Chain A
Amino acid sequence: MALTGLEIFKQLPRTNCKECGFPTCLAFAMKVAAGQEGLDSCPHMTDQARSALSAASAPPQRLIKIVGSQGEFSVGQETVMFRHDETFHNPTGVAILVSDALGDDEIKARCEAIKGLSFHRVGTDITVDLAAVQNTSGDAAKFAAVAKAVSEQTKLPLVLISSDAAALKQAVEALGSAVKPLLVPTDGALDSAVELAKSQKLPLCVTNPDLEALSGVTEKLSADVPDLVICPGDLPSPKVIEYLSIARRAALKKKCRPLGFPALVYATDSDPAKAAIRASSYVAKYAGIVILDTVEPWAVVSVLTTRQNIYTDPRKPVQVEPKLYELGQPSDTDPLLITTNFSLSYYSVESELTAARLPARVLAVDTEGTSVLTAWAADKFNPETITKALNDSQAQGALKHHKAVIPGHVAVISASLAEESNWEVLVGPKEASGIPSYIKNDWKP
């Protein structure tokens, strides 16, 4: 059964070389014990120690890496069924399908569209992770050429889907040995694809709608091809979720090694909205990679946002540094807006101002990462804390006016804040979305 951190630590070199990415061997050992790191990350362990430990210490779900021409994508090594039990660790990969039956110009356009699928939300860019090239042409040479073109144009790691193992082989050769795509052999091509995955050390996807049959295959295969991905194929949404849930439970709770791999699922409905809804549900319920057949930004952004939400670490309060932020080089007559240091509150205000190109100062008051109304109810966003933040920020030095705008939700504190701080307090809109029109129509320095 699982080893303790100390048992693992005893087998490590104990040199604290940091090459594993952790400050000490003990810290690394604790991570391995928690199932969040593999022993492979330690380059100096003796073979003897490695074999003694590896069987018992391998994470219940394997981490799979897919390497592109620039950068790589990793997924798996999840440790819990419910995000509130800890967190979900490695965000679901969102892959966009590219058919090799498209013409050169269409492929170019598709790659451009894929590159454009990047959205700025709450201070981060959320993007697509993978391109999935599908051999619908039936032509191995065409498939190889398209795989190469997509790799070069999108720079993304690839998923290669074909019912012809020879086509997969040709594509792998065309891509060069530095690129490590995920192979997805379909319709009986698995056996011949195994050789390719084994010789080139590539991750391989095993498709089977029946978990019992699937686990028989993966158990046999994993000695030769350790990096496996599992896939239910084409099933209705509820059945896919049942499949993903049982596989994850079996791996995490029963240490079922043959199912201890991330799962790839398809949400390739021709209606982008339907696909987005399906994909979002799969993101919430344990998918490792989800393949979409759309480049409509409105559809893809909802999936990427779902992923951003679900993979937010619930153990960390999401906050920004409490301080005075200057947006768009504000002058001494531009407004001073007050909000909390809860990142959603701050970034809602920030994104409205930057989108409308309105220069302003934003004071993020330290509310320990709680939102305006929550902080107000908990007495962390009150005349005293706001006055202290105003004084500490020395905002006055940068301003000609003496006016501070507070969120409309806390209008009730405007009089007491004015008294406490000696600032002129203006009541702004309740929602950040009202800020641009408020500044345009109501703001006078």
Chain B
Amino acid sequence: MAVPDTKEKWTGKVNTLTLGATSEQGGTRTSTVTIGGVGCLPSLEFEGPKGNRPAIAVEVWDGDGEAMPAPLRQVYGDSLKNVADWAKKAVEFGAEMICLKLQGTHPDAGDRSAEQACDDVKAVLGAVGVPLIVWGSGVNDKDNEVLPRCCQAASGENCLFGSITEKNYRTLVAACLADKHKLLAESPLDINIAKQVNILASDVGFALEDLVVFPTTASLGYGLEYVYSIMERGRLAALTGDKLLQQPVLCNIGFEAWRAKEARGTDEEVPGFGPAEKRGPLWEAATATNLFQAGADIFVMRHPEAIRMVSESLDEYYGPKGS
């Protein structure tokens, strides 16, 4: 019997977007990252363009990494004391981008100033040649003070700045427009709010094609299924032509996975789950590869073993990196 034709006719695809700028492009990056462009579900590339391989960004903090779980402190060592060293280490571990989290600017977590944040951004740009994601503390007033200055400090580098939300977007949109950066639009696991944030940014003049969305991430075992379905619904909407959901998607993997006790717990705390040095990296990697099946474009990660595993898994889908 003939297998019936089950081919879907998709009418849309995810936007293609490039981060970073080399010297010819007005920046100082030695490499750039292009994501998006996919016009089918993972593995079903006979239905549309398979698009670009998802990129792996590695998380770096603007302060002491002492609060990192022990297995991560072990592999990063003293580099956690300084953004530039940390960023270099991250690139060594396979980072195609650095995700600089300015959580030290949070009023309750160091309250670092806009000047200090600019210095951190410049330090990372000076230390490594990969493109940069800069992520604020999430405190609206402080972000509005800090991030525009950082945009200026990184002018010409074509970074991804985040995040804008439904309640706070005007200041950062204006700054990214002025300094030609891309924007990360955040929503709390809600597809309608995800669209709404994109509409708001677009209404004040920001191109929908220059947005990346962050629909919120959850770890394996801690709500992954909600994120999976929100992302899958978003991807299906993108493929059926909804321009408000055709933005590449970022997943904050490392932060979420390493909150789980299955990843961070000591062998005494989670008896019977196997050794910590195996458990943690796989928990992080599996969170990423599971969400890849729902449609993801950037993974923000932490552990070098997890990065290696995700990268090897992506090789199966896209061929070896650079091919």
B-side residues, CB < 8 A to A, are: 1-4, 6, 41-44, 46, 188, 220-226, 228-229, 232-233, 236, 259, 261-262, 264-265, 269-270, 272-275, 278-279, 281-283, 285-286, 289-290, 292-294, 309, 312-313, 316-317
B273 & A280 in contact (Cβ 8 Å cutoff): no
Complex Cα–Cα for A18 and B177 (A): 66
A310 & B289 in contact (Cβ 8 Å cutoff): no
Complex Cα–Cα for A86 and B28 (A): 49
B264 & A237 in contact (Cβ 8 Å cutoff): no
> Interface residues of A toward B: which range?
35 or more
Complex Cα–Cα for A200 and B44 (A): 38
Residue A258 CB within 8 A of the other chain: yes
B289 & A277 in contact (Cβ 8 Å cutoff): yes
Separation in Å of the A280 CB from the closest CB of chain B? 5
Q: Which of A258, A272, A284, A433 has the most CB of B within 10 A?
A: A284
Please list 13 pairs of residues, one from A and one from B, whose beta carbons are closer than 8 Å in the complex, sorted by A's number.
A82-B229, A83-B225, A215-B1, A237-B316, A241-B293, A253-B6, A273-B281, A274-B309, A274-B313, A298-B275, A305-B221, A433-B259, A433-B265
A280 & B264 in contact (Cβ 8 Å cutoff): no
A312 & B225 in contact (Cβ 8 Å cutoff): yes
Residue A444 CB within 8 A of the other chain: no
A264-306 CB mask vs B (1 if < 8 Å, else 0) is: 0000000011101110110011000000000011110110011
A299 & B1 in contact (Cβ 8 Å cutoff): no
Separation in Å of the B129 CB from the closest CB of chain A? 29
Closest to A245 in B: B44
CB contact between B6 and one of A241, A249, A377 (< 8 Å): that residue: A249
A-side residues, CB < 8 A to B, are: 82-84, 116, 119, 121-122, 211-212, 215-216, 219, 236-239, 241-242, 245-246, 249-250, 253-254, 256, 258-259, 272-274, 276-278, 280-281, 284-285, 296-299, 301-302, 305-306, 308-310, 312, 314, 344, 348, 351-352, 355-356, 371, 374, 377, 431, 433
CB contact between B290 and one of A245, A256, A281 (< 8 Å): that residue: A281
Q: A277-B309, A281-B293 are in contact. Are A299 and B42 (CB under 8 A)?
A: no
CB contact between B279 and one of A245, A246, A258, A298 (< 8 Å): that residue: A298
A309 & B1 in contact (Cβ 8 Å cutoff): no
In the bound complex, residues from chain B placing their C-beta under 8 Å from that of A219 are 1
B222 & A374 in contact (Cβ 8 Å cutoff): no
In the bound complex, residues from chain A placing their C-beta under 8 Å from that of B274 are 296-299, 301
Complex Cα–Cα for A82 and B225 (A): 12
Q: A237-B316, A284-B293, A302-B220 are in contact. Are A212 and B286 (CB under 8 A)?
A: no
Q: A299-B282, A309-B224 are in contact. Are A256 and B4 (CB under 8 A)?
A: yes
CB contact between A250 and one of B6, B264, B279 (< 8 Å): that residue: B6
B261 & A280 in contact (Cβ 8 Å cutoff): no
In the bound complex, residues from chain A placing their C-beta under 8 Å from that of B292 are 281
Closest to A249 in B: B6
Complex Cα–Cα for A327 and B188 (A): 32
Closest to A342 in B: B223
Complex Cα–Cα for A305 and B264 (A): 16
In the bound complex, residues from chain B placing their C-beta under 8 Å from that of A280 are 286, 289-290
In the bound complex, residues from chain B placing their C-beta under 8 Å from that of A348 are 222
A250 & B4 in contact (Cβ 8 Å cutoff): yes
CB contact between A245 and one of B41, B223, B233, B309 (< 8 Å): that residue: B41
In the bound complex, residues from chain A placing their C-beta under 8 Å from that of B272 are 116, 119, 297
CB contact between B228 and one of A253, A277, A310 (< 8 Å): that residue: A310
Separation in Å of the A422 CB from the closest CB of chain B? 27
Complex Cα–Cα for A241 and B43 (A): 6
B312 & A274 in contact (Cβ 8 Å cutoff): yes
In the bound complex, residues from chain A placing their C-beta under 8 Å from that of B262 are 301-302, 305
In the bound complex, residues from chain A placing their C-beta under 8 Å from that of B221 are 121-122, 305, 308-309
Query: Given A238-B42, A284-B228, 5 more contacts at CB 8 Å?
Result: A83-B232, A212-B2, A254-B4, A272-B278, A309-B228
